[in-house]
């Protein structure tokens, strides 16, 4: 298989008092998704660089750090120093997106840009060639357990088309309301990296939940035109 479906459980839905155990439980995942919220860009407050450091201490799964913060230009360095393997910031929050991407690459990490549900894919037009990852939000960022916004599928098809037109192949990540029930359609539309918070940590058997979402996603890969 040329392309596979990658799974990134979000520790937003983990038991933070038992984070070590909750990371062990997802050892079959491809990334650990770390949701950084600042109480300003989004109406919730979560993890800082110390949590990224803690994650890096206890697991070898690459850390996929999703910055939902107002000032990524000023803050990105802290998350790079903390050991983030992928840093994704929001296009809506960045002042100098290209400079942030360069800073991420200079630190040896992978760079992603995320778009909120109301931000058009055309926002990526001038920077798509520089990205390792595009994150399409399928909920309004801030909380786990929200419902998937159906219009995301159209945006995923647009991202795929833009990448094909430019001859680039970034990871295409989707975040919010993703689970085994809708993974096939999401992958068919263009995603290959699925974030799942409640759909993994809401289940007793996390490895089984990851496997189920991955299998559902793979069926979407085979359905792609
Ligand atoms: C939402 C966060 C997500 C969240 C997803 O703002 O960016 O990563 O953890 O949670 P679920 O999968 O429960 O929708
Ligand atoms: Zn996220």
pLDDT > 80? residue 17: yes
pLDDT > 60? residue 178: yes
8 A C-beta contact, residue 58 and residue 28: no
List ligand 1's pocket residues with C-beta within 6 A: 10, 12-13, 33, 35, 66, 139, 141-146, 175-178, 195-199
8 A C-beta contact, residue 20 and residue 32: no
Starting from the CA of residue 11, give the closest ligand: 1
Backbone torsions φ then ψ of 166, nearest 5 degrees: -90, -5
Expressed in angstroms and rounded, the spacing between residue 133 Cα and the centre of ligand 2 is 13
User: Can you give the pLDDT at residue 225?
Assistant: 63
Ligand 1 atom at shortest distance from the alpha carbon of 145: 13
Taking the whole predicted model, whether its pTM rises above 0.95 is answered as: yes
Which residue among 8, 31, 144 is best mutated to probe the pocket of ligand 1, counting the most ligand atoms within 8 A of its Cβ?
Answer: 144
| H or E stretch covering 12 | none
Ligand 1 atom at shortest distance from the alpha carbon of 137: 7
Residue 132 annotated as catalytic? no
122 dihedral zone (left: phi>0; alpha: psi -120 to 50; beta): alpha
Residues 142-171 have pLDDT tens digits of 999 999 999 999 999 999 999 999 999 999
pLDDT band at 2 (very low <50, low <70, confident <90, very high): low
Ligand 1 atom at shortest distance from the alpha carbon of 37: 6
User: Can you give the pLDDT at residue 12?
Assistant: 98
User: Can you give the pLDDT at residue 191?
Assistant: 98
Mean pLDDT to the nearest integer, 100-119: 99
Q: Cβ neighbours of residue 218 under 8 Å, at least 6 residues apart?
A: 4, 5, 187
Domains of the chain: 6-221 (3.20.20.70)
Residues 28-60 have pLDDT tens digits of 999 999 999 999 999 999 999 999 999 999 999
Nearest CA to ligand 1 atom 10: 144
Helix H, strand E, coil C: the string for the chain is CCCCCEEEEEHHHCCHHHHHHHHHCCCCCCCEEEEEEECCCCCCECCCHHHHHHHHHHCCCCEEEEEECCCHHHHHHHHHHCCCCEEEEECCCCCCHHHHHHHHHHCCCEEEEEECCCCCHHHHCCCHHHCCEEEEECCCCCCCCCCCCCCHHHHHHHHHHHHHHHCCCCEEEEECCCCCCCHHHHHHHCCCEEEECHHHHCCCCHHHHHHHHHHHHHHHHHHCC
Mean pLDDT to the nearest integer, 110-121: 98
Distance CA 19, CA 127 (A): 35
User: Can you give the pLDDT at residue 1?
Assistant: 47
pLDDT > 70? residue 24: yes
């Amino acid at each position: 298989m040329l392309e596979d479906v990658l799974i990134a459980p979000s520790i937003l839905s983990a038991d933070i008092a038992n984070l070590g155990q909750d990371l062990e439980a997802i050892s079959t995942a491809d990334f650990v998704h770390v949701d950084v919220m600042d109480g300003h860009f989004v109406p919730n407050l979560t993890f800082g660089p110390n949590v990224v450091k803690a994650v890096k201490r206890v697991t070898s799964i690459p850390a996929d750090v999703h910055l939902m913060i107002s000032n990524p230009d000023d803050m990105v360095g802290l998350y790079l120093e903390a050991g983030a393997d992928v840093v994704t910031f929001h296009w809506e929050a960045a002042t100098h997106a290209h400079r942030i991407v360069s800073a991420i690459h200079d630190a040896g990490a992978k760079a992603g840009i995320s778009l909120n549900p109301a931000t058009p894919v055309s926002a990526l037009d001038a920077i798509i060639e520089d990205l390792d990852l595009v994150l399409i939000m399928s909920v309004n960022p801030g909380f786990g357990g929200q419902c998937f916004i159906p219009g995301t599928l159209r945006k995923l098809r647009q991202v795929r088309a833009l990448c094909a037109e430019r001859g680039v192949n970034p990871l295409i990540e989707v975040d919010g309301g993703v689970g085994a029930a809708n993974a096939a359609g999401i992958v068919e539309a263009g995603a290959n990296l699925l974030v799942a918070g409640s759909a993994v940590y809401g289940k007793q058997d996390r490895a089984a939940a990851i496997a189920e979402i991955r299998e559902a996603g793979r069926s979407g890969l085979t359905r792609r035109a």
